[in-house]
């Protein structure tokens, strides 16, 4: 195993609240690494509703969800945060005072003085397709995410779905795969029109196959898929020979491994925190944004921004014990302006 990545703070979740936490922590000279199960930065805003209008961010009459993410990324650029995408934090272990060991499902390990949970409603989990007996194949030849494209080189790949993820990976893997088949239950797609047009061009050129129907069963042994049994839209049955299947049926929100980290949860889904610093019952672990609970909590992005600011003030004393914290305003502090590159 490689050496642990050492940092001041690990932030779990790279949505708007996790991103603004980078800003508040960065102003106080704390280095951050962010881990997110999604393959992109921005959390729900980027994954579920990038074009959703937002009207209640102070001073910004209107922005889109993706526009807010883009603005936050620009704002925190001076602090050089490091992102670890497509990974889920599985365990958080206290190994010092303060010091935590954080491990992901990809075997990556961090050592940090502070852990900040900014995971929104929890982690995004892929929706499992309703195929009997799919479980033994999962993680072996049935994959809900593409971790390494090279793993599919020269393989016979079956992609199932009709949204952006299915179309994006169809286009990305088509040049690598030995043969690629896209299966969708209908001829209309939910993906971006440009992606659909590119996919249809590949079909017309004979470079990939498009089948309309649904998988009813998988055939194989020991987790190795040999073929998928498909019921086509015309009612006929067909076999699609494949070495790997990638179902993209969307995502659902689950609390995930956080539920097993020892917190006393509110309604089995929210982490109680204090309202002075939004620290959890475990010293050194904070929860900000939609995943936390306290009396009067409002699930608003602006509330999460406020929580991130107060969290950083308390976190500073863990990272720099005994060092006096002098409160400064970005409008008048030349040192803060220098950090931001605007001095």
CA dist 179 and 168 (Å) reads 16
Residue from 159, 126, 321, 288 nearest 230 by CA: 159
In the numeric block, the tokens 């910004």 are attached to 60
- What is the DSSP code (8-state) at residue 277? T
pLDDT tens digits, one per residue of 65-101 = 899 999 999 999 999 999 999 898 999 999 998 899 9
CB-based burial label for 276 (10 Å; 0-12, 13-18, 19+): exposed
Q: State pLDDT tens for residues 173-227.
A: 999 999 999 999 999 998 889 999 999 999 999 999 999 999 999 999 999 999 9
Q: What angle do CA 75, 38, 264 make, to 5 degrees?
A: 95
Q: What percent of the chain has pLDDT over 90?
A: 79
Gyration radius (Cα) of the chain, Å: 23
Question: For the chain, which domains are there?
Answer: 5-124+252-340 (3.50.50.60), 128-249 (3.50.50.60)
pTM: 0.71
Kindly report the number of other CB atoms within 10 A of residue 132's CB atom. 8
């Amino acid at each position: 195993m490689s050496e642990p990545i050492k940092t001041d703070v690990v932030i779990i979740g790279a949505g708007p609240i996790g991103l603004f936490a980078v800003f508040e922590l960065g102003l106080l000279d704390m280095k951050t690494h962010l881990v997110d199960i999604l393959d992109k930065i921005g959390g729900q805003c980027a994954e579920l509703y990038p074009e959703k209008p937002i009207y209640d961010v102070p001073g910004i009459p209107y922005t889109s969800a993706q526009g807010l993410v883009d603005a936050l990324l620009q704002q925190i650029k001076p602090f050089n945060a490091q992102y670890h995408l497509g990974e889920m934090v599985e365990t958080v272990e206290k190994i010092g005072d303060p010091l935590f060991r954080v491990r992901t499902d990809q075997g990556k390990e961090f050592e940090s003085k502070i852990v900040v949970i900014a995971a929104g409603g929890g982690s995004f989990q892929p929706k499992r397709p309703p195929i009997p007996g799919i479980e033994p194949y999962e993680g072996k030849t049935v994959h809900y995410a593409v971790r390494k494209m090279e793993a599919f080189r020269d393989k016979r790949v079956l992609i199932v779905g009709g949204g952006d993820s299915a179309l994006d990976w169809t286009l990305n893997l088509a040049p690598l795969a030995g043969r690629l088949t896209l299966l969708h239950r209908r001829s209309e797609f939910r993906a971006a029109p440009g992606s659909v047009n590119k996919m249809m061009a590949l079909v017309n050129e004979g470079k990939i196959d498009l089948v309309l129907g649904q998988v009813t069963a998988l055939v194989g042994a020991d987790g190795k898929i040999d073929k998928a049994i498909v019921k086509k839209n015309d009612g006929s049955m067909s076999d699609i020979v494949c070495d790997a299947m990638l179902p993209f049926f969307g995502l659902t929100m689950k609390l995930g491994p956080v539920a097993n980290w020892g917190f006393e949860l509110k309604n089995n889904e929210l982490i109680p925190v204090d309202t002075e610093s939004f620290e959890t019952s475990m010293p050194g672990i904070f929860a900000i944004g939609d995943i936390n609970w306290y009396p009067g909590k409002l699930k608003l992005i602006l509330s999460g921004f406020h929580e991130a600011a107060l969290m950083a003030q308390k976190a500073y004393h863990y990272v720099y014990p005994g060092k006096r914290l002098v409160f400064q305003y970005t409008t008048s502090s030349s040192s803060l302006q220098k950090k931001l590159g605007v001095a």
